[in-house]
Amino acid sequence: MSELYLVKDGERTVTLAAEREGKLYAFVPNVGSFVYNKPMSVDFQIDHEMNYASVDAETAANIVREGSES
């Protein structure tokens, strides 16, 4: 099962991410898909320079829907 996170750099929202087996997959609106992001995975596990706030599936679905409409 994947966990969903809203990734922020300070106050700026960076992306919606899904974590699976320690790897982060960032949502890319123009592709309409989650794409593996190695640097973000390293930050999530080791560096902790960004903030990762858990979000529920409904919130994530709204973010994806809004991103697809842009």
Question: 39-48: buried (b, 16+ CB within 10 Å) or exposed (e) per residue?
Answer: ebbebbeeee
Residues 1-33 pLDDT 10s:
689 999 999 999 999 999 999 999 999 998 889
Using CB atoms within 10 A of its CB, is residue 67 exposed (0-12), middle (13-18) or buried (19+)? middle
- The pLDDT, as a whole number, for residue 69 is 62
67 compared with 55, residue with greater pLDDT: 55
pLDDT, mean of residues 37-65: 95
pTM: 0.88
Alpha carbons 38 and 55: distance in angstroms, whole number: 21
Residue 68 has pLDDT above 70, yes or no: no
Residue owning tokens 């699976």: 20
Residue 67 has pLDDT above 80, yes or no: no
